Structure 1
């Protein structure tokens, strides 16, 4: 039933095999041709990802050198030091070298996984990223799962009943929350639910990841308690985007002939939506989900800063204030590489879901 009513599969090898020529030797030709076309498609996407990563290396190096501030003076802690001491610091961190040589050294080390040493913490950048990464994954990963599930579910239902009261409510709320700055919403939640306002008592911590005085299962509860407000902030701001994209994609499928055929064959409306409309409308939504999955590593700088969450976003904000060039460059590279990787994976999966892509 699904194969007869889903146009996205109409051009797939499975349909080609239904014909009388499927049993003959000529059937190998199209399959081989499809494999070659897919491999060529994969090679093109991988080359594009490599070029994008190279552009990130170049951009990250030169962009952050435009930030005002002298990292060497920061390292002195505001003490009065001689010009000779400042020059010694610059030699120690390679800041006295010509810009082109600093760039080639940076690229060469970055390609081997050496992101340099943080000026601020005097530790390898990769170690600082490793320390903060689990905290960011906990926060943004939890929010990602919630807003993806909520956005897809509500977006599908809103599209299926487009024009109704539920559709107008969910679409209006999604548009409103999606336009709200995340840091402002976070501050409002802190004022209302952490500090307390009127009859509402302060129920949640104002920031941080843990209180530091709990152990065992109590520590888990403590972390969850600190997690509630930043997760609500991220979900409230991000779910609207997923809802709107899903709604638009499902609406595009609503008038398709294969849905009319499925209904004419007596399938329930709910079954038509779940088995036919939603799977064929998932490509645009999947793109957004993979992009958001890349952002899980990047975290959200403003939200982590507002809630003093010890993740990569807060670390990036702290490094910018110095500026701690190796740490800023390393974080920028990791953030960008995660998004590039997820985009590339989405592109590679497309042809497996819809054989028309990549031909």
Structure 2
């Protein structure tokens, strides 16, 4: 197992290095931040001084080498717009996005997997058809439209839930969290529901397909012949066999939601990383953009590493292969 983890870590380092080259060159090849940061009426001397200050007078390969040297030390540079270190700036917004993502993806999984298993176990029942109908809705309707409808119904018409902001927070481990207060949950519910609908639909369909396939296998037939109850069969055999694809989708959806919750955060004025990135793109704040994309890549690699380890834990065949 240790050798397996070390091998994956070495692969992760190589992938991060390649991504750093692609991200840096891609971001620094787009636009000229001086045109945004400096007034068009500024003199040529002021423009040249600003270019030297931000290191933009150096060739791109030299800028990348300097960036990589700072990155190894944990320094992502300073924001052109805010004038502060980039990493603390992003990390100050990250808990809000992380909280929203966790509630949405975990909630969608906890609701979607049991309902999907039921829909696969009783595919012709009225409840199963209703579950699949809701999943079709989750796949078909755009996220931004669902968000606007939720605001119109629950905030405007009924007036029972707030339409935006994060609400009251409480600190835990030095970080402010909304889920620790009742008012915070009121503000968290609508954006989390908006994010969760697509994930819920995906989990329902994945669990339903896996359950229908496994219920026809010899494993279930032997379990029934041994006198096991249907609930035990679903819990011990079916859920265990569909766990690997569910873990895969959970990890990928968690990473993608964490990285791209921009639309939901914008609609509900959620003060997460998404709003910061939109502002950085508009102002060509390159250090913030590069740091964000690097952190997204790091999270995806970390999630994939975790999934690989869970694979080994869930599948005995992989454990034997990793031990050999």
TM-score, normalization: structure 2?
0.88
**CA RMSD, aligned part only?**
2.3
Distance 1:150 1:204 in 2: 22
Structure 2: state its 5+ residue gaps: 170-177
Which one of the candidate residues 295, 320, 324 is aligned to 1:334?
Answer: 295
* Residue 265 of structure 1 pairs with residue 226 of structure 2: yes
The answer to whether the Cα contact below 8 Å between 1:133 and 1:297 also exists between their aligned partners in 2 is no
**Structure 1 residue aligned with 2:113:** 152
**Structure 2 residue aligned with 1:256:** 217
Q: Secondary structure at the match of 1:357?
A: helix
**Structure 2 residue aligned with 1:205:** 162
Measured after TM superposition, the shift of residue 308 of structure 1 is 1.4
Measured after TM superposition, the shift of residue 224 of structure 1 is 2.2
**Structure 2 residue aligned with 1:245:** 206
Measured after TM superposition, the shift of residue 125 of structure 1 is 0.5
Measured after TM superposition, the shift of residue 299 of structure 1 is 5.5
* Residue 48 of structure 1 pairs with residue 6 of structure 2: no
Distance 2:140 2:194 in 1: 13
Q: Secondary structure at the match of 1:123?
A: coil
Measured after TM superposition, the shift of residue 190 of structure 1 is 2.0
Aligned length: 311
Which one of the candidate residues 1, 20, 23 is aligned to 1:57?
Answer: 20
Q: Secondary structure at the match of 1:356?
A: helix
> Residue deviations 1:297-335, cap 9 Å, x none?
436111111111111122111211111110011111111
Distance 2:40 2:30 in 1: 22
Mark the structure with the bigger radius of gyration. Answer: 1
Measured after TM superposition, the shift of residue 226 of structure 1 is 1.8
The answer to whether the Cα contact below 8 Å between 2:25 and 2:60 also exists between their aligned partners in 1 is no
Distance 1:116 1:180 in 2: 40
Distance 1:202 1:67 in 2: 44
Flag the 1:51–1:179 CA change in 2: closer, same or farther, 3 A: farther
Q: Secondary structure at the match of 2:228?
A: coil
Distance 1:170 1:63 in 2: 43
Flag the 1:67–1:174 CA change in 2: closer, same or farther, 3 A: farther
TM-score, normalization: structure 1?
0.80
Structure 1: state its 5+ residue gaps: 1-37
Measured after TM superposition, the shift of residue 261 of structure 1 is 0.9
**Structure 2 residue aligned with 1:126:** 87
Measured after TM superposition, the shift of residue 292 of structure 1 is 3.0
Flag the 1:328–1:354 CA change in 2: closer, same or farther, 3 A: same
Distance 1:210 1:221 in 2: 9
Which one of the candidate residues 231, 243, 262 is aligned to 2:192?
Answer: 231
